[in-house]
Amino acid sequence: MGADFVMLSLTPLLIGIAAAVACALPGNFLLLRRQALIGDAISHVVLPGIVVAFLLTGVVAALPMMLGAGAAALVAVVLIEVIRRLGRIEPGAAMGVVFTAMFAGGVLLLEQSATSGVHLDVQHALYGNLESLIWLDGYGWAALLDPDALRALPPELPRMAAVMLGVVIFTGVMWRALVISTFDEGFARSMGLPVQALSLSLIVVAAIAAVAAFDAVGSIIVIAMFICPPAAARMMTNRMGAQVAWSVGFAVLSAVSGYVLAGYGPLWLGYDSAVSAAGMIATVSGVILGLAALAGPCRTGGDAQASGAFS
Amino acid sequence: MALELVGSAPEQNDDLPLSIRGLTVSYGEKPAVFSVDVGFQPGQMTAIVGPNGAGKSTLLKAALGIVTPLSGQVRCHGRPLAEMRARIAYVPQRASVDWDFPARVLDVVLMGLYRDLGLLGRIRGQHRARAMECLARVGMDGFAARQIGQLSGGQQQRVFLARALAQGADLYLLDEPFAGVDAATEKAIITVLKDLKAEGATVVAVHHDLATVPDYFDRVFLINTTAIAEGPVADVFTPENLQTAYGGRLALAQMGGVAAG
């Protein structure tokens, strides 16, 4: 664990952790609001955004694509809310309509324009390129204190770290209002809480996390991290604060062990090449969810009602 | 909440704990509540009674700003709702929330203190003590650390009432507080509501059990999309008015109960 680790593994690990935590935090609330699919939706709707950004700028660069993806995510979020409120449609259905329509629109755009000849590949979108986010100037632990070396950090790291910090601050500051309006929207409104603005801001925060994570680590991690750590955490505890803490723990555990397993697991099993870190991180989070479903102490919240019905 | 019509003239009912004028709410093409005028008397317990789909819950929700009306005005003690929220407590229908939510009984009651705590205020011993007092009033102080999904329906209803008590209001709006609860809970809730009335609070409850209206309430508001009648139980809770409210849908047995009561 020396220079090699700092150069090749430290930044992908940190980016993976930041992406996992940034998605898992809003995932807790989205899951309880039955909107967990929003991560899935966002990672699909970014496609037309990226294509439009390319058509407008003519270059395949990170910044315009992030902006395009972000704009598309916001359009989708607003459309979902509008359809949900005006059409009185179940949120899952509203999301399904919006993200398939926008994804299909993106595919058509891609086909009909010159972009089809350009390298906008599906693999990158799915798995990201976590392993390639290495820090060439990271010659050792001392590089962490070296301004020159720090300047050469992959830009995804500060970006993802800033997004994670923003998500943490949003969750911390809005905590009480988010919890009340998630549990009982009518009661929250009766006390004058701006329920609609709260749910919109939650989704916007989730969209920002999803777009940043999508850019750094691909959509598989986004989809998995919005759902798996919070869902597993729900089965470990019956308190909201503890659930969020567990979900962060599971997200970090998935990122770290997924990254390590992807790099070394196949070698231990006798294969000669590593597998996708993003795929392995998502798989580990799924395994954690499976274990929590089998052995979590609080996985039967509703069933206990029958035994408690004496009063 | 844009509940208020600009420049409407004050009327004599305006200083009531809750007065509603010209209220129309619609979820689709058909109005759920149409042009309702009603005032609720201070220090009284009023039942809102009407058939299913008559707009009883909608009326409460519009009074609280939970649904936005097409037209109409809601005033609380003569002032706009937005200024008076601290004096209103609300008990929603128990079935309106997911009881699998990761919260303990005490956490739910503490939600009633949001207006005191604000977004970032720390929950201190005094807040917990107040929440425990409210739980004790509904006989649920032994359940503070229970996960809410592990409670019976009646216990959940009492937790909702405790949360409303924690709001420290003098106007209580309850949506079907006796729906699907056991006899012990029904007794506990009515005792608390009568105590609140004795302390000077105003209680308005959507109620579906016609037989208990005369025992539990002082006044009745009959509604079937439009307002039918409001007044003391003895004057308003008559077979004729009920026939108007329910049309042909009222069973004879229920009518008998009313006549006897």
A85-115 pLDDT per residue, tens: 888 788 778 888 888 898 888 878 877 765 5
Chain A nearest-CA residue for B115: A191
- Interchain pair B114, A298: CB under 8 A: no
- Interchain pair A176, B65: CB under 8 A: no
Give me the mean pLDDT over the B5-25 stretch: 72
Chain B nearest-CA residue for A191: B85
Give me the mean pLDDT over the B25-44 stretch: 92
Q: What is the pLDDT of residue A174?
A: 96
Give me the mean pLDDT over the A193-220 stretch: 86
Indicate the DSSP class of residue B147: B
CB of A51 within 8 A of CB of A106? yes
Q: Which residue has the higher pLDDT, B212 or A305?
A: B212
Query: What residues of A are in contact with residue B66 (Cβ under 8 Å)?
Result: 186, 189-190
Highest mean pLDDT among A4-13, A164-173, A196-205: A164-173
Looking only at the bridges linking them, the beta strands covering B31-40 and B71-76 are unpaired
Separation CA A141–CA A6 (nearest Å)? 6
Tokens of A68: 């395009």
- Interchain pair A190, B66: CB under 8 A: yes
Tokens of A153: 């950090």
Question: To probe the interface with A, which of B30, B99, B114, B120 has the most A CB atoms within 10 Å?
Answer: B114
Q: Does B85 touch chain A (CB under 8 A)?
A: yes
CB of B107 within 8 A of CB of A182? no
Q: Phi first, then psi: what are they for A142, rounded to 5°?
A: -60, -25
Instruction: Compare CB distances from A192 to B82, B100, B153 and report the shortest one's residue.
Output: B82
Place of tokens 């009745």: B220
- Interchain pair B149, A304: CB under 8 A: yes
A125: phi > 0 → left, psi -120 to 50 → alpha, else beta; which?
alpha
Instruction: Compare CB distances from B185 to A239, A301, A311 and report the shortest one's residue.
Output: A311
Q: Is residue A57 scored above 90 in pLDDT?
A: no
Separation CA B92–CA B95 (nearest Å)? 8
Task: State how far residue A210 is from chain B, nearest Cα, in angstroms.
Answer: 25
Instruction: Compare CB distances from B65 to A189, A237, A304 and report the shortest one's residue.
Output: A189
Indicate the DSSP class of residue A9: I
Separation CA B175–CA B185 (nearest Å)? 15
Give me the mean pLDDT over the A243-261 stretch: 96
Share the mean pLDDT of chain A. Answer: 85
Q: Is residue A266 scored above 90 in pLDDT?
A: no
Q: Give all domains of chain A, ordered by start, each with its CATH number.
A: 3-135+149-292 (1.10.3470.10)
Q: What is the pLDDT of residue A268?
A: 82
Residue B2 confidence class, pLDDT cut points 50, 70, 90? very low
Highest mean pLDDT among A87-91, B59-63, B115-119, B254-258: B59-63
Core vs surface per residue A251-279: b (16+ CB within 10 A) or e: bbbbbbbbbebbbeeeeeeeeeeeebbbb
A230-245 pLDDT per residue, tens: 999 999 999 999 999 9
Q: Which residue has the higher pLDDT, A125 or B88?
A: B88
B126-143 pLDDT per residue, tens: 999 999 999 999 999 999
**A165-174, A253-262, A274-283, B136-145, range with the lowest pLDDT:** A274-283
Could you tell me which residues come within 8 angstroms of residue A112 by beta carbon, excluding any fewer than 6 positions away?
A: none
Q: Does B99 touch chain A (CB under 8 A)?
A: yes
- Interchain pair A182, B182: CB under 8 A: no
Task: State how far residue B90 is from chain A, nearest Cα, in angstroms.
Answer: 7
- Its ipTM equals 0.90
- Interchain pair A302, B85: CB under 8 A: no
Q: What is the pLDDT of residue A215?
A: 76
Q: Give all domains of chain B, ordered by start, each with its CATH number.
A: 12-246 (3.40.50.300)
> How many CB atoms neighbour CB A145 within 10 A?
8
CB of A281 within 8 A of CB of A13? no
Q: Measure the CA angle with vertex A191, ends A188 and A194; round to 5°.
A: 60
Q: Which residue has the higher pLDDT, A223 or B200?
A: B200
Separation CA A217–CA A224 (nearest Å)? 12
Separation CA A145–CA A168 (nearest Å)? 25
Tokens of A142: 């001392």
Tokens of A218: 């691909």
Q: Is residue B259 scored above 50 in pLDDT?
A: no
Chain B nearest-CA residue for A236: B102
Query: What residues of A are in contact with residue B118 (Cβ under 8 Å)?
Result: 176
Q: Taking an 8 Å Cβ-Cβ cutoff, which residues of chain A contact chain B? A: 32, 88, 173-177, 179-180, 182-184, 186-187, 189-193, 234, 237-240, 242-243, 298, 301-302, 304-305, 308-311
Instruction: Compare CB distances from B102 to A193, A239, A305 and report the shortest one's residue.
Output: A239
Separation CA B115–CA B166 (nearest Å)? 10
3-state secondary structure at position B40: strand
Q: Is residue A251 scored above 60 in pLDDT?
A: yes
- Interchain pair A193, B114: CB under 8 A: yes
Residue A306 confidence class, pLDDT cut points 50, 70, 90? very low
Between positions 162 and 181 of B, the ones with CB within 8 A of A are: 163, 167, 173
Instruction: Compare CB distances from A301 to B61, B96, B149 and report the shortest one's residue.
Output: B149
Query: What residues of A are in contact with residue B115 (Cβ under 8 Å)?
Result: 191-192
Q: What is the pLDDT of residue B261?
A: 42
Task: State how far residue A73 is from chain B, nearest Cα, in angstroms.
Answer: 28
DSSP secondary structure string for all residues of B186-220:
HHHHHHHHHHHHHTT-EEEEE---GGGHHHH-SEE
Share the mean pLDDT of chain B. Answer: 89
Task: State how far residue A85 is from chain B, nearest Cα, in angstroms.
Answer: 11
Residue B255 confidence class, pLDDT cut points 50, 70, 90? low
Query: What residues of B are in contact with residue A239 (Cβ under 8 Å)?
Result: 102-104, 107
Tokens of A37: 């699919």
Q: What is the pLDDT of residue A132?
A: 82
